[in-house]
Amino acid sequence: MTKTLKIALTLSLVIHLTTLLMRMEPEPFVEANLTSLQLRLETYSKSTLNSESNNSPKITEDKTDTTQNSDNEINQNQTESPETLIAEETVNQSVPEKQNNAFENQKINSQNDFQAAIIDAFLPDNIEPDYESTSESTAVVVTENPAQTTIPIQTIKPVLPPILEQEPKEALANKNIIAQVPFTDREQPMLDRRVKEWSETFHRIDTSKPTVQWKHRGQQYHSTFTEMPAIDDKNTDELLIEISKEVDGKIFSTELRLRKLVFSNFAQFIDKWDRNVSLHQDEIGGRFHSNSEMRVSYDHSGGPVFHGKVTTSFRGINSDNARGRMKRSEMFLGGLETNVRRIALPREFPLFPTNADENQIHIFEKDTAITFYTNSTFGARPLDSTEPEKIIDIGDRSAYLIANPKTEHHVKGVLNGSVLVYSPANIVIDDDLIYESNPEINPESDDYLGLVSNGFIKIADAETTGDGDLHIHASIYAKRRFSVGRFGSGNSGVLAIYGSLAAGSMSATEPRYSTRIDFDPRLENKRAPSFPMTNRYEIIDWDNQWTIENSIDELPEATAKLRMR
């Protein structure tokens, strides 16, 4: 009879619990719902026990606060009725010492089943229950009644709805951007002309008034200029231009970044051509520019070849000394543009940055012979002196070898480092002058040499250089003239320059040398230390479209305080 009663009570409890779960409306189970859940379960347990006498289930929800009376209820349960079931987080579990093992196993299995059912019913769909963790926080009073249940109390951190989550700052900053549209067909050529004019004449603009305004077909435009000095002696100055207009309360703007041209950006640059000099079997590997009329000659043996774009400030090319025929397309492989604006040679330029320390700057008061060595040093001694060389470490930073007025340098050797050699008078190249790490083989080479003179740079006579080819790795700037000593002597070698050559003028090289200048591609983005820059800019970044922005009044409150472009 006792066994039958136990089975009946268990079945009754399962049926009524199922009925309760079907009638109840699931709620998100967060910390705020714990008290409500506890009250439901407690009330349900009491109503289940009363159902034995009433023969009809009745479910009620007690909305009073049971937490204040929990201790009293626990004590009453020990005297009033052994059938009372209490699920309370603060109640400690107590088990009769003489409990039958079979009954205990049955009780544990029953607890696990009801735990799973209750957790699955009340947890949101996107949360998986952790039965191991919840079982540790289970609290129950066990009596002789075999139909016992354990109510797990699981704490779940509330999950904010997506609308309350904070958006990244980047997303807020971009909320003021509506769209990006290309320039109109009328605006594109107008803006191209404006930018070209600024890139060539910015040095004439009054930088104290960096804003320029103009109208085009009734539309007002604004432009602002921001100069950005080079970050170090190997980089170049840049210019940021912002152009904007306003249409129907919307701000249309575009930004472009320009970089100042360095004389070493040209494989060869000549200010004034010597009328007695013509390019014959010369080969130029990069851009070429001449501020004056350039002369070319060709015959059955060939003519000059320009691999990069050729620009000249003159109206054409002089080929009076040419014999035979040679197509322009065979000579100017990168194209030819005439009547371009003249690029002036600077009157002065900084020889080293203001933050250079005394270990980087080496001043020479007498004519000096300089020899570079592969161990990142150079030897210096007065010219025509028998005293030993003074060995000087170049170091990890750039070195500046500066000659006093009317003092010249003679250079040769293998350079390992970054060096500028400057003389206001003369620099003479006595022999091969090359990098320890050849950029033609290793594009990552960090060896740079600048030969800069306000006067002349000269190739020494054949008695000094020896017969055959002469190899030079350097960026060369000779403000007055670059020349080859005794170019009329019969040597039939090649003057091979890897880098760049800029000069106020240039002597003939043949028949002693035919000239081959191969442009060092590293010089597109870098320069030898403090190598002279032009007053010209060129575009390096422009997307050629308008970015449309909200006006300040139209920005949402969350973004109105953010800095506008």
pLDDT digits (tens, 9 = 90+) for 109-151: 544 444 444 444 444 444 444 444 444 434 334 444 444 444 4
pLDDT digits (tens, 9 = 90+) for 250-269: 899 999 999 999 999 999 99
- Which sign, positive or negative, has the C-alpha torsion 359, 360, 361, 367? positive
67 has a pLDDT exceeding 50 = no
CA end-to-end span of the chain, whole Å?
87
412 has a pLDDT exceeding 60 = yes
pLDDT band at 88; cut points 50, 70, 90: very low
14 has a pLDDT exceeding 80 = no
- pLDDT value of position 256: 95
- pLDDT value of position 135: 40
Q: Give the distance, in angstroms, between the CA of residue 187 and the centroid of all CA atoms in the same chain.
A: 31
Pair 502, 269: CB distance under 8 Å: yes
216 token code pair: 């085009």
Q: Give the distance, in angstroms, between the CA of residue 2 and the centroid of all CA atoms in the same chain.
A: 80
Higher-confidence position of 10 and 242: 242
pLDDT band at 300; cut points 50, 70, 90: confident
* Angle (nearest 5°) at CA 445 between 443 and 451: 110
81: nearest Cα among 48, 124, 109: 48
DSSP state of 161: P
% of the chain beyond a pLDDT of 90: 46
Give Dmax (Cα) for the chain.
133
206 has a pLDDT exceeding 70 = yes
Q: What integer best gives the mean pLDDT of the chain?
A: 76
- pLDDT value of position 486: 77
Pair 445, 435: CB distance under 8 Å: yes
183: nearest Cα among 195, 175, 194, 191: 191
Peptide bond into 189 cis (omega under 30): no
- Which sign, positive or negative, has the C-alpha torsion 546, 550, 552, 553? positive
Q: What's the chain's Rg over C-alpha atoms?
A: 44
DSSP state of 553: G
pLDDT digits (tens, 9 = 90+) for 233-243: 999 999 999 99
Q: Where are the domains of the chain?
A: 2-136, 170-262+541-560, 264-533
Phi, psi of 198 (to 5 degrees): -65, -40
Q: Give the distance, in angstroms, between the CA of residue 140 and the centroid of all CA atoms in the same chain.
A: 61
pLDDT digits (tens, 9 = 90+) for 434-488: 999 999 999 999 999 999 999 999 999 888 988 889 999 999 999 999 998 877 6
- pLDDT value of position 230: 92
The mean-pLDDT minimum among 24-38, 419-433, 495-509, 536-550 falls in 24-38
Average pLDDT over residues 527-542: 95
Ramachandran assignment for 205, one of left (phi > 0), alpha (psi -120 to 50 degrees), beta (any other):
beta
Residue type, 506: M
73 token code pair: 């209820």
pTM, 2 dp: 0.66
Pair 244, 256: CB distance under 8 Å: no
- pLDDT value of position 466: 85
363 has a pLDDT exceeding 60 = yes
492 has a pLDDT exceeding 50 = yes
